[in-house]
Structure 1
C-alpha cells in the first residue's frame, strides 16, 4: 500500500514489517551569473544612454534659447478691429430710488421715525431727477470714449509712430526676449531686441567625441 505525499513517498508491507521511507528531492533551477564582460558591456550601454539623454536635453535647451533670442511674440492674434465702447447700463427708477434713499438716510437713526419718513419722501422726489442726471452723465462719458477710440484707431491704421510703438510694446510685454519698438518708417517697424551676453552664448552644439564621450557646448568667454 502506498500514498503520494508530493516529493516524499512512504510504503508499508501488509505483514506489518518495518516501514521504509524514501525521500526524493526536486531539482532547483540553476542561477545564471552574468560574466564580467557582460556586466561591463551593460554598464557602457547605460552610460552611453545617459550621455545621449544629456546631449538631447542640451540641444533642446540651445534650440529654445535661439528661438527666444531671434523671434518675437510667436503667439497668433486675431485681426485687429476698431475698439468698441459698450453701451451704458440701463438704469431704472428702482435703482435711482434706492440710491436716493441711501443718500438721504445717512446719519439718521432707525428710531427717528419722523426724520426717516421725511428723508424717504425727499428721496422719492429726487429719484427721477437723479436718474436723468446719471443717464446723461454716463452717455457723455461713452461719447467721449468713443471719440477717443476712433482717433486712436485712425492713428494706428495711419502708422502714427507713437501709437504703433505703444501698441506693439503693449502686445509684446510678455515676450520671452526683451524687445522694444523704436520707430516706424512708412510700413516698416523697427524693433530692438536685447540678446544674451556673449560670454553666456555657446560656440558649439553638444555632441559625442570620437571616443564616445559627451561633449558639452563651450561658452564664448570660457573653457569647456
Structure 2
C-alpha cells in the first residue's frame, strides 16, 4: 500500500463511514499494544518516542494500553504537548491526565538521558507521509535508539524509511518488529528495507471490510 492509499482509507473511513479519526487511532494503538505485549516480557519497561503528528498520537494510545496491562511505560516526546493538533493532541491529553510519565526532549543531552538500555523502544516519530532524511532531534533520537541495547519496535514503518520506494535514509530506525496499519507498505518489498523493518505484522484500524476490499487488502 502506498502513502496516498493510506490517506484515502483514512479519509473515506472518516467522511463516508463516519468513523472518527480518534476511533481509528484508538483501534490502531490498541492493536499495536497487543503485539508489543506478545513480543516482550512483562518485566521489560517500554519507552515510546513520539513525534508531533499522528504517528506520535498512536504512541500515546499505546502508552495508555500498555499501562493498563501493567507495564512500566513512559513517553519521550519530540514536541511540546500544547503544539499538538487534532487526534494526536486528544490522545496526548488523555495520557497526561492519566498520569502517564511524559518527558519532552528539548536537546540531544536530554535525549541521551531519556533513552535507556533495557527498554523496549517504540518508534512513533514519523509516519507514512514523511520523506527524506530525518532531521534535528528526530535524527538524534533514531541514532541513539539504534545505538542502545534493547528490543526496537516501529509503528507503521521505521522512521527514515520511505513508504513508497523503500529507500533507506542514512539515519533510519532499525526495527526488530514493525507494526504496520491496514496493510504492508509498498516500500517493504524493496530489498534495502529488509535490514530495518525486521518482522512485519499488519494491524487493523477498524476500517470496514468493503472499504478494505476496494484497495485489495482484504
Query: What TM bracket, shorter-length normalisation?
Result: under 0.3
**RCO higher in structure (CA 8 A, sep ≥6):** 2
Q: TM-score, structure 1 length as denominator?
A: 0.16
Q: Which protein is bigger by CA-based radius of gyration?
A: 1
